[in-house]
Amino acid sequence: MRDEVLKMLRDSGAIITDSHIVYTSGKHGSIYVNKDALYPHTRFASRIGELFAEENKDKDIDVVAAPALGGIILSQWTAHHLSKIKGKEILGVYTEKDADKNQVFTRGYDKLVAGKDVLVLEDITNTGGSVLKSIDSVRNAGGNVVGVSVMVNRNPEGVTSDMYGAPFSALAVLKAEAWEAQDCELCKQGVPINTSVGHGAKFLAQEQKKQ
- Residue 137 CA to residue 141 CA, distance in Å, equals 6
In a domain, 36, yes or no: yes
When computed from its CA atoms, the radius of gyration of the chain, rounded to whole angstroms, is 17
In a domain, 68, yes or no: yes
In a domain, 159, yes or no: yes
Q: Which helix (H) or strand (E) holds 86?
A: helix 70-86
Torsion of Cα atoms, 47 then 58 then 1 then 145, to 10°: 80
Domain count for the chain: 1
Neighbour tally for 18: CB within 10 Å: 7
Residue 186: Cβ-neighbour burial (10 angstroms; 0-12, 13-18, 19+): middle
Helix (H, G, I), strand (E, B) or coil at 140: helix
Domain of residue 172, residue span: 2-176
What CATH number is attached to the domain comprising 39?
A: 3.40.50.2020
In a domain, 198, yes or no: no
- Residue 65 CA to residue 22 CA, distance in Å, equals 26
Give the start-end residues of each E strand in 19-84. 21-22, 28-29, 32-33, 63-67
Q: How many residues does the chain have?
A: 211
In a domain, 199, yes or no: no
In a domain, 206, yes or no: no
Residue-level pLDDT, tens digit, the chain, 211 residues: 789 999 999 999 999 999 999 988 889 999 999 999 999 999 999 999 999 999 999 999 999 999 998 899 999 999 999 999 999 999 999 999 998 889 999 999 999 999 999 999 999 887 788 889 999 999 999 999 999 999 999 888 888 899 999 999 999 999 878 899 999 999 999 999 999 998 999 999 998 888 7
| Contact of 95 with 130, CB cutoff 8 Å | no
- Minimal CA–CA distance to 158: which of 16, 150, 107, 3? 150
- Residue 124 CA to residue 128 CA, distance in Å, equals 8
Write down the pTM of the prediction: 0.88
